[in-house]
A and B are shown apart, each in its own frame.
Chain A
Amino acid sequence: MKAGDLRRALRDALLVGALLWIAVTAAFVRDRNKDATQRALRHAQAAAELVAIGDTPPTPTAAAAIVGAPVASKQHGFLRRRVAHTAAGERPLGGPTAPAVDKLLYDAAGRYDKDGPFVAMLSDGSERAVAAVATARGPAIAITAGPEPRAPVPWLAVLGHLGLMLVLVGVGAVLGGRARGVGVALGLATWAFPAYFAGGPGLALAMLAVAAAAGWAHATGATDRAIASVRAHKVALSFLAPAGVAMIVLVVVPFAVGLALGFYDHHHGRWTFVGLANFKRILTGDGHALSDPLNFWFILGVTLAWTFVNVMLHVLFGTLFALILRQPWLKARGLWRVLLIVPWAVPNYITALIWKGMFAGEYGAVNSILSGLGLDRVSWFSSWATAFSANVATNTWLGFPFMMVVALGALESIPKELEEAAEVDGASSWQRFKEITLPHLKPALGPAIVLGSIWTFNMFNVIALVSGGKPGGSTDILVTDAYRWAFERGEQYGMAAAMGTIIFLLLLGWTLIGRGLTKGDEEARP
């Protein structure tokens, strides 16, 4: 036997043992609280039953009485008086200086009127129980005096158990060989006893499983290797830790919560598990006609049209301006370039609000120009086509600079000799564009188009601020509709989360397709 063996065995047993201790302690506290709650409920119920037949409860109560029916005030129906009947006589409940304990009787009587006889814990965190049973004169109500006494923590047993565990582990390590792993497993298996009493057979079995796994890991040296690897990469791990924690807290957890919420229904602060019902409701159109903006497929259609039209216009205008900027005859090129990037540099909600103002019916710039030209004013947000066009115009303004910058970069990379050679060979400018410029633009524009389409697909600001879904929600896209489920339709967070999951899956699919497309381009590249 080596001293190192004993040290390693104790180390593994204590590490795993600490985790098991936490689990058992949590189960113990839960069990103890449950026991105290049940006693409180029993005492309240027994006391209320005695009050009902006119006896004095044997356990101390904060208040106990038979409470009469409410009498509403003449001025205000919601101001209602009740009378408490106790052994000491009658007294009215309530008034500006009435004691708080009378209020417990009063509120319990109100609950009795709504729900019938009940026994429950008070929701004020005082760990008192209240019970109401029926009598001919109204509910007999009793409230326990305070928290029920709790069983003390059995420190002696804990210490003894800890000692037993260490002895078993130590004996295993001393014997050496196969006994080392068995010792760790047996020592940790002792946690199954307190686990059985505090948490039942399920928890005990879980403890045994963990003990067996820990023993096996110890015997095979897996724990040694894990600890050695952590030690070896101590510095790297400590550098990774802040970013790792941030990723978990800011990305992984919200994402998981968002996914999970899609399977729940939220109603007045209560969450109910509903399985796939939210998804079913969304994907079946929820009984709305296909032409109704409340039908998911209608919104999906609008979203796809929105994305396609926008990205097409972004690429068109972006490439066009990039080509113009490249022309040798253009003066003050730097200035033009800056001006064309400005729409991108301005925060997009400000741009959206400006465009919304320009499309305003009465005083908007667009209508002023139209009427200046002798044309009719257009009520932009009262029909689908005009409202959609207004959105598209705004987003095109916002989106083309990105494509222009990408295209400019790609154009810079075209070798001058190639174009000059083509020119010398007598290629027309259209031929040069088609055979040289376009093929060089494609690899750069491919990923930009995938990225741009994802941005446009989820372009919340423009839709929400310009058309606001008008008319009648028909220009909403998926992401604004998800917002409405959460904040404008009775806080149906479950529906909003399900919608979010669907949007995620759609975009994930599109990214994979897009990656395939652009990868093809890259491979084809010389």
Chain B
Amino acid sequence: MIRGLAIAALCATAAACGRSDAAVTVWHAYDKDERVAIEALAADWNASHPERQVELVAMPYDGFGDKLGSAIPNGNGPDLFLYSQDRLGDWTAAGVLEPIEFWIDDATAARYTPEALASLAYHDALWGLPVAVKSLALYVRTDLVATPPRTTDELLAMAPALTARGIFALAYPVDDLYAHAPWLHGFGGRAMDGDTPTIATAEAVAAAAFARELVQRKVVPAEADAALTATLFAEGKAAMAISGPWFIADIPAGVPYTITTLPTVSATGLAAAPYLGTEGILMSARARDKDAAIAVALAFTSDAAAALRAERAGQVVPNPAAYRGALADAPRLAAFRRQLAHTVPMPVSPAMRAVWTPYKNALGQVVSGAASPAAALEKAAADIATYARTEGAR
């Protein structure tokens, strides 16, 4: 009795208590449709593997990453977990993750689009299998724009007619690097080269100058954040918007729209390429039965499992073979899939986390005309170098 109470008291403080040793524990922060889909996958697995059950543990999204980072090194974490790739750099350095390229041969790798798989690789190793991908794409109000622009010149050309009616041709958070990235990459630039930020390059300057041109010609509003972008698009004050799959939920019923790929940058002939964010199933370095864990990870990312997730939860899955039958024609998924061919994997280096704010400051200065693109980006590069320098490294 007392022992039972003591165990109950300990379990109240340690989330890991509920697991049984024979099971593969999977932590995730899914809810709604995505949760239903992954629970269906777990049920499938458990029906055919009575000796090695999967236990799903749903976690609140807030603080999920921090929880993983502190639970796993103490041996209290899951065997597998679902998370996007942006913390790979920190977690590999801290020994939280198990490298998994050992188990993955070319035949298995061929299941996934190369970009999605590559975005879970870091420092010559693979750290997870891709579950779903997300990138920006172009949302177009079909009542305001008959033919979506295929190039940036077409975009600039269609703007004056809309501006005359008090409508912005396009809305997106101009000063946000994530939203600006399509232009940066379209002009041939990159924010990171491995672990080194590459900020004040000629390509980046050209991209920032282009963003300023968009604002100065009143093609896009100067100060739209994500919320205002959604409002402008919903109210018909912006004919197009750059956003991701999550934007669909913000569009009120009755607004006629379509999703398509971002235009080609006329100055370079390169497609505007947004960042590719990849959600992966990652293995804890302290997983108890790693053979069973990799089998579960492979099963959850198989073509059939991906098709189920795409169908039930609308996930954009990185398995080309999953898109068969009705899924092959689902228009929203198709648009994001086409965009996938023109994406740049989100940098996973920890150094990237010091880039966002200075870059935002620089873009803000550029579009408001307070600083020239070159000067603003050089200031940002200097600031980022300041942050990257640490006392421990000196």
Q: Which residues of A pack against B, CB within 8 Å?
A: 73-81, 93-96, 98-100, 102-103, 106-107, 110, 123-125, 265-270, 272, 274, 277-278, 281, 286-288, 294, 360-363, 379, 381-383, 469-473, 484, 488-492, 494
A484 touches B357 (CB 8 A): yes
Chain A residues with CB below 8 A from B105, complex form: 73, 79, 81, 94-96
Known: A76-B117, A93-B102, A107-B102. 12 other contacts (CB 8 A): A79-B104, A79-B106, A79-B126, A96-B298, A99-B291, A100-B290, A266-B390, A267-B390, A281-B391, A361-B222, A382-B369, A490-B351
Least CB distance, A123 to chain B, in whole angstroms: 6
* Distance of A473 Cα from B370 Cα, bound (Å): 14
Q: Residue on B with the closest CB to A94?
A: B102
Q: Residue on A with the closest CB to B100?
A: A103
Q: Residue on B with the closest CB to A271?
A: B392
Say if the beta carbon of B147 comes within 8 Å of chain A. Answer: no
Number of chain B residues close to chain A: CB under 8 A: 58
Least CB distance, A230 to chain B, in whole angstroms: 27
Partner of B391, one of A123, A278, A361: A278
Given known pairs A78-B121, A268-B89, A268-B94, the reply for A362 and B223 (CB within 8 Å) is: yes
* Distance of A361 Cα from B215 Cα, bound (Å): 12
Say if the beta carbon of B383 comes within 8 Å of chain A. Answer: yes
Query: What is the predominant secondary structure among interface residues of chain B facing chain A?
Result: helix
Least CB distance, B75 to chain A, in whole angstroms: 6
Chain B residues with CB below 8 A from A98, complex form: 102-103
Least CB distance, B129 to chain A, in whole angstroms: 11
Given known pairs A123-B95, A472-B365, the reply for A379 and B109 (CB within 8 Å) is: no
* Distance of A433 Cα from B121 Cα, bound (Å): 74
Say if the beta carbon of B188 comes within 8 Å of chain A. Answer: no
Interface residues of B in 340-394 (CB under 8 A from A): 350-351, 353-354, 356-357, 361-362, 364-365, 368-370, 379, 383, 386-388, 390-393
A73 touches B222 (CB 8 A): no
Partner of A95, one of B75, B103, B224: B103
Q: Residue on B with the closest CB to A362?
A: B221
Least CB distance, A485 to chain B, in whole angstroms: 8
Chain A residues with CB below 8 A from B267, complex form: none
B357 touches A75 (CB 8 A): no
Chain A residues with CB below 8 A from B337, complex form: none
- B77-109 contact mask (Cβ, 8 Å, vs A): 1 or 0: 000000000000110011100010111111011
A470 touches B95 (CB 8 A): no
Least CB distance, A103 to chain B, in whole angstroms: 5
* Distance of A245 Cα from B124 Cα, bound (Å): 49
A473 touches B222 (CB 8 A): no
Q: Residue on B with the closest CB to A473?
A: B361
Given known pairs A99-B291, A294-B386, the reply for A472 and B94 (CB within 8 Å) is: no
Chain A residues with CB below 8 A from B104, complex form: 79, 96
* Distance of A382 Cα from B285 Cα, bound (Å): 47
* Distance of A124 Cα from B283 Cα, bound (Å): 12
Say if the beta carbon of B125 comes within 8 Å of chain A. Answer: yes
- What are 26 A-to-B residue pairs whose CB atoms are below 8 Å? A73-B105, A75-B114, A76-B109, A76-B114, A78-B101, A78-B125, A93-B102, A94-B101, A94-B103, A96-B294, A99-B291, A110-B99, A125-B286, A265-B391, A269-B94, A274-B392, A362-B222, A362-B224, A379-B368, A381-B368, A471-B365, A472-B361, A472-B364, A490-B351, A490-B387, A491-B90
* Distance of A473 Cα from B379 Cα, bound (Å): 12
- B294-315 contact mask (Cβ, 8 Å, vs A): 1 or 0: 1000100000000000000000
* Distance of A472 Cα from B361 Cα, bound (Å): 5
* Distance of A278 Cα from B222 Cα, bound (Å): 37
Given known pairs A268-B89, A268-B93, the reply for A294 and B383 (CB within 8 Å) is: yes
A103 touches B90 (CB 8 A): no
Least CB distance, B238 to chain A, in whole angstroms: 11
Chain A residues with CB below 8 A from B102, complex form: 93-94, 98, 102-103, 106-107
Chain A residues with CB below 8 A from B90, complex form: 268-269, 491
- B273-301 contact mask (Cβ, 8 Å, vs A): 1 or 0: 00000000000011001110010001000
* Distance of A363 Cα from B126 Cα, bound (Å): 47
Given known pairs A267-B393, A360-B228, A488-B357, the reply for A123 and B387 (CB within 8 Å) is: no
Chain A residues with CB below 8 A from B228, complex form: 360, 363
* Distance of A268 Cα from B87 Cα, bound (Å): 10
Say if the beta carbon of B192 comes within 8 Å of chain A. Answer: no
Say if the beta carbon of B251 comes within 8 Å of chain A. Answer: no
Chain B residues with CB below 8 A from A294, complex form: 383, 386
* Distance of A93 Cα from B102 Cα, bound (Å): 7
* Distance of A78 Cα from B105 Cα, bound (Å): 11
* Distance of A96 Cα from B95 Cα, bound (Å): 23
B103 touches A383 (CB 8 A): no
A73 touches B106 (CB 8 A): yes
Chain A residues with CB below 8 A from B222, complex form: 361-362, 379
B364 touches A471 (CB 8 A): yes
* Distance of A469 Cα from B356 Cα, bound (Å): 14
Chain B residues with CB below 8 A from A81, complex form: 105
Partner of A103, one of B124, B290, B365: B290
Say if the beta carbon of B118 comes within 8 Å of chain A. Answer: yes
Partner of A272, one of B298, B370, B392: B392
* Distance of A474 Cα from B90 Cα, bound (Å): 30
* Distance of A137 Cα from B46 Cα, bound (Å): 44
Partner of A471, one of B114, B350, B368: B368
Residue picked from B121, B223, B224, most chain A C-beta under 10 Å: B223
Least CB distance, B390 to chain A, in whole angstroms: 5
Which 9 pairs from chain A and chain B are nearest by CB? A382-B368, A269-B94, A272-B392, A489-B387, A265-B392, A490-B354, A78-B121, A268-B93, A274-B391
Least CB distance, B35 to chain A, in whole angstroms: 27
Chain B residues with CB below 8 A from A361, complex form: 221-223
* Distance of A294 Cα from B387 Cα, bound (Å): 10
B390 touches A265 (CB 8 A): yes
B357 touches A489 (CB 8 A): yes
B391 touches A75 (CB 8 A): no
Least CB distance, A117 to chain B, in whole angstroms: 20
A100 touches B291 (CB 8 A): yes
Given known pairs A99-B291, A103-B102, A492-B387, the reply for A125 and B357 (CB within 8 Å) is: no
* Distance of A294 Cα from B379 Cα, bound (Å): 11
Chain B residues with CB below 8 A from A75, complex form: 106, 109-110, 114
Chain B residues with CB below 8 A from A77, complex form: 124
Q: Residue on B with the closest CB to A488?
A: B357
Q: Residue on A with the closest CB to B293?
A: A100
Chain B residues with CB below 8 A from A103, complex form: 102-103, 290
Q: Residue on A with the closest CB to B124?
A: A78
* Distance of A80 Cα from B350 Cα, bound (Å): 24
Chain B residues with CB below 8 A from A267, complex form: 390, 392-393
Q: Residue on B with the closest CB to A81?
A: B105
* Distance of A216 Cα from B222 Cα, bound (Å): 77
Residue picked from A102, A360, A382, most chain B C-beta under 10 Å: A382
Given known pairs A96-B103, A379-B222, the reply for A286 and B386 (CB within 8 Å) is: yes
Given known pairs A76-B109, A79-B109, A379-B368, the reply for A471 and B386 (CB within 8 Å) is: no
Q: Residue on A with the closest CB to B168?
A: A362
Least CB distance, A178 to chain B, in whole angstroms: 45
* Distance of A374 Cα from B65 Cα, bound (Å): 51
Given known pairs A94-B102, A362-B221, the reply for A123 and B368 (CB within 8 Å) is: no
Chain A residues with CB below 8 A from B94, complex form: 268-270
Given known pairs A78-B121, A107-B102, A281-B391, the reply for A381 and B350 (CB within 8 Å) is: no
Chain A residues with CB below 8 A from B93, complex form: 268-270
* Distance of A447 Cα from B109 Cα, bound (Å): 68
Least CB distance, B320 to chain A, in whole angstroms: 14
